[in-house]
Amino acid sequence: MHVVALAVTDGTPLFELAAPTAVFGAPMPTSARDWYDLRLCASPGAIVDGAFRAETPYDLDALVAADTVVVPACHDGALHPPGELVEALRAAHAAGARVASICTGAFALAAAGLLDGRRATTHWMHAPRLADRHPRIAVDPRVLYVDEGDVLTSAGKAAGVDLCLHIVARDHGTAVANAIARRLVVAPHRDGGQAQFIETPIPANGDHRLAQTMAWALERLDQPLTVNDLADHAHLSTRSLTRHFTAISGTTPLQWLLHQRVHRAQELLEHTDESVETIAARVGMGTAATLRRHFARVTRTSPTGFRESFRAVNAPAVDHPIRAGAASQ
């Protein structure tokens, strides 16, 4: 079992605990091979959100034993990350743990020196302070999260859900991450920027005016779709559609489509042995060359490279009988 330690200190907002708890504490999806052992690690007497006393056998020293440490914001975290937490983080990272922060949790990572020379993000309100106080960090306030391999940071609050799902996708593949996302009823995968950076939030609920059009598009991803087609479906001019689309999703229609196609290609690469050419056609990319281009832009790997590394992660050549719940959206 992969141990995920959630670092709780006095004043941690309840909301920030919710994301990692819901994602890593979820029951193991049928399509996953192993899963997480979520451990609440709290400093003694920690009160969550001024109301809830954390009761757990693990204290912050237990972070060292974790494979992944999740650090949510803490009281006054942007100003004075608790020294005890900073020390524990340093030790955990030195022991080989992957460390992820939510919101102002990044300040604790920064204080531990884990972000020096790296890219990172935090809540946009606190980004200037983080950059100011730690000049060696390349702070990007625009993204939802930043994946630096063994150190990950995410923006405020809800971006923590995206970060956690991203981690699940890294560990278990996008299909498992999507299964979790579906269970939590959040948008499967928010991204939009280059590489593993997420640039803009997409509302987690599906009740906005373009939801049906987006769902409609996802059902015919394999077919050629123009912005005009989307506009027709939404009964809007292309101009208005583009306007609403960017306002709602933070991406432009074509970019969103391209990302959806790449994500579907990832699932097919994970779960089928179809050729890149075939997959390109099935996800609505005219040619394999086109798929490769966008795939590289989004994932920083080639389709074949992605397939290989996915197979490597899920190495044991054991038959896995049922893939219930792993169907794509």
Partner DNA sequence: GCTAACGTCCGCCAAT
Partner DNA sequence: AGATTGGCGGACGTTA
Kindly list the residues in this chain that would bind DNA in the complex (CB under 7 A).
Answer: 226-228, 236-240, 242-244, 246, 252-255, 258, 285-287, 289-290, 293-294
Rounded CA separation 248/245 (Å): 5
* 3-class SS string, 136-198: CCEECCCCCEEECCCEEEECCCCHHHHHHHHHHHHHHCHHHHHHHHHHHCCCCCCCCCCCCCC
CB of 178 to DNA, least distance (A): 23
CB of 254 to DNA, least distance (A): 3
Q: What is the DSSP string of 191-236?
A: --SSTT---S---SSS-STTHHHHHHHHHTTTS---HHHHHHHHTS
Q: Counting beta carbons within 10 angstroms of the beta carbon of residue 1, is it exposed (0 to 12), middle (13 to 18) or buried (19 or more)?
A: exposed
Whose Cβ is closer to DNA: residue 228's or residue 275's? 228
CB of 203 to DNA, least distance (A): 16
Whose Cβ is closer to DNA: residue 246's or residue 328's? 246
Whose Cβ is closer to DNA: residue 240's or residue 275's? 240
CB of 121 to DNA, least distance (A): 21
CB of 200 to DNA, least distance (A): 11
Whose Cβ is closer to DNA: residue 228's or residue 304's? 228
CB of 24 to DNA, least distance (A): 34
Whose Cβ is closer to DNA: residue 242's or residue 328's? 242
Q: What is the DSSP string of 253-301?
A: HHHHHHHHHHHHHHHHHHH----HHHHHHHTT-SSHHHHHHHHHHHHSS
CB of 249 to DNA, least distance (A): 11
Distance set, CA 21 to CA 14, 39, 278 (Å): 10, 9, 39
Whose Cβ is closer to DNA: residue 200's or residue 328's? 200
Whose Cβ is closer to DNA: residue 30's or residue 252's? 252
SS3 content of the chain, % helix, strand, coil (to 5): 45, 10, 45
